[in-house]
């Protein structure tokens, strides 16, 4: 019997126009944007549908925006198919969408969580010039040598041969040259606000941990993978403990996908803007069937397949 997992993208997948097609085709989905706008205090739909891109790229806008688009995609798919996931996961902020789908947090609490998370991370970015570089085709040990030499960190283990590093601007500026000299196929600076998933986010982790102390958490209805540990969260207490650590820790996405495969997952559906995670899963485990829901066309295709 087939076992499916639902996965959700994180910051960086946002794009002006995200969610508009789904809402126009399914007017009932507008309620999610309206509820989010009420919780946030600004019109999220306008930011998502019309931009400008500079507004949507801000962490305190992008994270709630991606979450709501992901929820709309997931809720529409679930209504069409009755899909009951056997597992879930998400990349960075996308892990919160997975926790919502598993019933750990309410929609309104998730919006509040991502607003505070995004604001705290944006403040940390402003306080210290920093950045991230994606390295393609270089072994992990060589990447770690570069990190140790420059005093930076691995931010994301995205797939075999694709790793992202994070740190102060002057240090990460040296990464492309060093990585290529070490044999990397490519090393590209990312257009991000700062050094996510690094110790430079420590002030944001502290603020976020304090905020989460008052948020009610339920036990997950299905296993949700932890970016911090690489395995499934043990329980609600572990989720509360580990999610602040996720802001400064490495995203262990390769291990997340491997852990889902170990549970017998043979197909995944990515819900939200783009299909970056679908591509990463393909590189990690080619035996897993892939689906994504980003707009009406992909919703219809995924619903028919599932």
- The mean pLDDT of 41-56, rounded to a whole number, is 94
pLDDT more than 70, % of the chain: 100
Burial class (CB in 10 A: 0-12, 13-18, 19+), 263: middle
The strands making up 289-293's β-sheet, listed across from edge to edge, are 87-90, 4-8, 267-271, 289-293
Kind plus residue range of the DSSP H or E element containing 188: strand 186-189
Q: Give tens-digit pLDDT for 80-97.
A: 999 999 999 999 999 999
**Helix H segments across 82-106?**
94-101
Q: Is residue 183 part of a domain?
A: yes
| pLDDT for res 135 | 98
The range of the structural domain enclosing residue 91 comes to 4-126+199-305
Task: Report the SS3 class of residue 218.
Answer: coil
Q: Give tens-digit pLDDT for 124-151.
A: 999 999 999 999 999 999 999 999 999 9
Q: Is residue 194 part of a domain?
A: no
| 3-state helix/strand/coil string of 120-168 | HHHHHHHHCCEEEEEEECCCHHHHHHHHHHHCCEEEEEEECCEEEEEEE
Give CA–CA dist 97/227, Å, rounded. 13
Residues 109 and 204 in one domain: yes
User: Domain ends where: 140, 170, 189?
Assistant: 189
User: Domain ends where: 189, 207, 236?
Assistant: 189
| pLDDT for res 2 | 87
Rounded (10°) CA dihedral 246, 192, 290, 24: 110
Catalytic annotation present for 287: no
What total of structural domains would you count in the chain?
2
Residues 285 and 208 in one domain: yes
Catalytic annotation present for 59: no
- The mean pLDDT of 179-203, rounded to a whole number, is 95
Give CA–CA dist 207/194, Å, rounded. 17
Q: Up-side HSE of residue 60: CA atoms within 13 Å toward CB?
A: 15
Residues 185 and 150 in one domain: yes
| pLDDT for res 30 | 96
Of the pLDDT bands very low, low, confident and very high (cuts 50, 70, 90), residue 60 is confident
- The mean pLDDT of 170-186, rounded to a whole number, is 97
Nearest alpha-carbon partner for 268 in 99, 100, 121, 86: 86
| pLDDT for res 58 | 85
User: Domain ends where: 145, 161, 189?
Assistant: 189
Residues 185 and 208 in one domain: no
Residues 61 and 118 in one domain: yes
Task: Report the SS3 class of residue 198.
Answer: coil
Residues 121 and 142 in one domain: no
- The mean pLDDT of 205-220, rounded to a whole number, is 97
Residues 136 and 67 in one domain: no
Task: Indicate whether 201 pLDDT > 80.
Answer: yes
Residues 76 and 116 in one domain: yes
Q: Give tens-digit pLDDT for 248-293.
A: 999 999 999 999 999 999 999 999 999 999 999 999 999 999 999 9
| pLDDT for res 76 | 98
Residues 86 and 205 in one domain: yes
Task: Indicate whether 109 pLDDT > 80.
Answer: yes
Nearest alpha-carbon partner for 272 in 248, 249, 302: 302
Q: Is residue 100 part of a domain?
A: yes
Q: Give tens-digit pLDDT for 222-252.
A: 999 999 999 999 999 999 999 999 999 999 9
Residues 207 and 286 in one domain: yes
- The mean pLDDT of 16-22, rounded to a whole number, is 96
Residues 280 and 164 in one domain: no
Of the pLDDT bands very low, low, confident and very high (cuts 50, 70, 90), residue 306 is confident
Q: Is residue 37 part of a domain?
A: yes
- Pick the catalytic residue: 92, 159, 166, 226? 92
Give CA–CA dist 113/213, Å, rounded. 11
Average pLDDT over all residues of the chain: 96
CATH assignment at residue 288: 3.40.366.10
- Pick the catalytic residue: 93, 130, 197, 250? 197
Residues 99 and 226 in one domain: yes
């Amino acid at each position: 019997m087939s076992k499916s997992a639902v996965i959700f993208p994180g910051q960086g997948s946002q794009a002006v126009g995200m969610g508009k097609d789904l809402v126009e085709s399914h007017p009932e989905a507008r309620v999610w944007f309206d509820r989010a706008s009420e919780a946030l205090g600004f019109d999220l739909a306008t930011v998502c549908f019309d931009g400008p891109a500079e507004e949507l790229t801000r962490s305190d806008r992008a994270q709630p925006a991606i979450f709501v688009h992901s929820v709309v995609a997931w809720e529409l798919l679930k209504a069409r198919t009755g899909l009951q996931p056997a597992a879930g996961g998400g990349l960075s902020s996308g892990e919160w969408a997975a926790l919502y789908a598993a019933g750990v947090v309410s929609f309104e609490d998730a919006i509040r969580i991502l607003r505070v998370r995004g604001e705290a991370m944006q403040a940390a970015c402003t306080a210290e010039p920093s950045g991230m570089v994606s390295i393609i085709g270089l072994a992990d040990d060589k990447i770690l040598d570069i990190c140790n030499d420059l005093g930076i960190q691995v931010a994301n283990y995205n797939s075999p041969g694709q790793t992202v590093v994070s740190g102060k601007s002057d240090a990460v500026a040296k990464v492309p040259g060093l990585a290529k000299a070490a044999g990397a196929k490519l090393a590209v600076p990312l257009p991000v606000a700062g050094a996510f998933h690094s110790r430079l986010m420590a002030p944001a982790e502290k603020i976020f941990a304090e905020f989460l102390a008052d948020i009610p958490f339920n036990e997950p209805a299905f296993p949700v993978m932890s970016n911090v540990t690489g395995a499934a969260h043990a329980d609600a207490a572990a989720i509360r403990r580990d999610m602040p650590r996720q802001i400064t820790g490495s995203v262990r996405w390769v291990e997340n996908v491997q852990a889902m495969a170990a549970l017998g997952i043979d197909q995944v559906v990515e819900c939200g803007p783009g299909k970056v995670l679908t591509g990463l899963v393909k590189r990690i485990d080619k035996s897993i069937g892939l689906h994504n829901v980003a707009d009406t066309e992909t919703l219809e295709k995924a619903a028919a397949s599932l």
